[in-house]
Amino acid sequence: MAYWLVKSEPSAWSWEQQVAKGAKGEPWTGVRNFTARQNLNAMKKGDLAFFYHSNEGKEIVGIAEIIREAYPDPTDKTGRFVCVDIKASKPLKTPVTIAAVKADRRLADIALVKYSRLSVQPVTPAEWKLVCEMGGL
């Protein structure tokens, strides 16, 4: 299993909206960055992803599961980009803020800090475990 982080502005698509979709999940559409596209293509069914509220809140709020692997993004008229389907798995008991991530030296190399503009990011197993602990899981 691989671990990921996906970002969304809560005013555009929030954790609460993701949870409301239930087991059927929702396509993660609208990604228009080539590195993020590579990450979407690498996702496998059953992989887990942190759900990060960007711009507003700036915190990891939950864990989502990849339920469908990459396929053409129906919102992309160029045909160059892909999406995956994700479903909410569980909320973090305590959201983990970007400030908390930056304050922990063990997370100095996490993509959330090093590549802050990237909307779909890999997370190492060690980073995953630490952030889960920080979030009360």
Q: Tell me what pLDDT residue 54 has.
A: 94
Beta-strand relationship, 3-8 and 48-53 = parallel
Q: Taking the C-alpha atoms of 110, 42, 47 and 129 in order, what is their torsion angle to the nearest 10 degrees? A: -20
Stated as kind and residue range, the H or E segment containing 4 is strand 3-8
Closest CA to 61 of 88, 40, 22, 25: 88
- Model pLDDT for residues 35-78, shown as the tens digit of each residue: 999 999 999 999 999 999 998 889 999 999 999 999 999 999 99
Q: In this structure, what are the phi and psi dihedrals at residue 57, rounded to the nearest 5 degrees?
A: 100, -50
> Which pLDDT score, from 0 to 100, does residue 49 have?
98
Q: What digits encode the pLDDT tens for the residues 91-114?
A: 999 999 999 999 999 999 999 999
- How much is the pLDDT for 62? 98
pLDDT in tens, 1-11: 999 999 999 99
For the chain, the domains span: 3-134
**CATH architecture label of 3-134:** Roll (3.10)
> What's the predicted TM-score (pTM) here?
0.95
Per residue in 15-37, pLDDT (tens digit) is 999 999 999 999 999 999 999 99
Q: Which of 46, 64, 48 is nearest to 8 (CA)?
A: 64
Return the closest-CA partner of residue 5 out of 79, 80, 98. 98
Is the pLDDT at 79 greater than 90? The verdict is yes
